[in-house]
Amino acid sequence: MTLLQWKPAYSLAIPAVDLEHREMIGLINECYERMGSDADTAAIERFLGEIHAGIAAHFALEEQLMLRSNYPEYGAHKEDHEDLLDQIRDFMDRFDEDREAGLRLLQQRLADWFGRHFATFDARLHDRIHT
């Protein structure tokens, strides 16, 4: 069962960003699968820490690209990034309290967020950079 699916439409045609998007989706999917099974808490924690660091670095790169291209909605996009990082950190500390709720959270929040993020912000960034 995969949580997130990479679609060609997600592509920003920026090789570095696309590469990291794919890596991130892969990592999140792998983590989601582990959580479904009886993986031990420590292993999942390790995954989440990796996801957190990866996404943080990825956002840093995206933000730099936005600043470089004078992307007008940088402020909103940046806040969106910070929100997700906050949420992931919340999740990292809480998933173990209730594995089921944790799963739901991951599923809803992360999947929602990624879907929304790709459809709106990154798409606009793509338009901005390539026009």
Partner 1 sequence: MAGPAAPAPRLNGCALLALLHKFLRLALEPLRFVLARSFPPAALNPLHHLGALTIFFFWIVLVSGIWLFIFFRTSVDGAWESVEYLTHQQWYLGGVMRSLHRYASDAAIITLALHILKEFAHDRYRGARWFNWVTGVPLLWLVFPLGITGYWLVWDQLAHYVAITSAELLDRLPIFTDSMARNFLTVEALSDRFFTLMAFLHLIGLPLFLVFGIWLHVFRLNGPQINPPRVLMAGSLLAMLLASLVYPAVSQGKADPAQVPEALAFDWYYLLVYPLMQAWPAGAVWALLLGISLLLCLAPWLPPGRDRRSAQVDLGNCNGCERCAVDCPFGAITMEPRSDGTAYASEAVVDPTLCLACGICVGACPTATPFRTRTALVPGIDLPDQPLAGLREEIRERAERLAGTQRVLVFGCAGSRGLRRLEDHQTAAVRLECMAQLPPAFVDWVLSRGLADGIVLAGCRAGDCQYRFGMRWTRQRLERERDPRLRKRVPGERIALAWSDRWQAHTDLRRLLADFRRSLGSPAAASPAAGRRRLAQAAAWGAFAAVVAALSVWPPYRLLEPGQAMVSLTFSRAGQRVHECRRLSQEELQRLAPNMRNPIDCPRERLPVWVEFRVDGETLHRRAHPPSGIWKDGESTVYRRFEVPAGSHELFIGMRDSGRAQGFDFELRQQVPLASGQHLVAEFDHVDQRFVFR
Residues in the site for partner 1, rule: CB under 8 A? 15-16, 18-20, 45-50, 52-53, 56-61, 63-64, 82, 85-86, 89-90, 92-93
**Residue 65 or 103 having the CB closest to partner 1:** 65
CB of 57 to partner 1, least distance (A): 4
Q: Is 96 helix (H, G, I), strand (E, B) or coil?
A: coil
**Residue 57 or 119 having the CB closest to partner 1:** 57
**Residue 86 or 112 having the CB closest to partner 1:** 86
DSSP annotation of 122: I
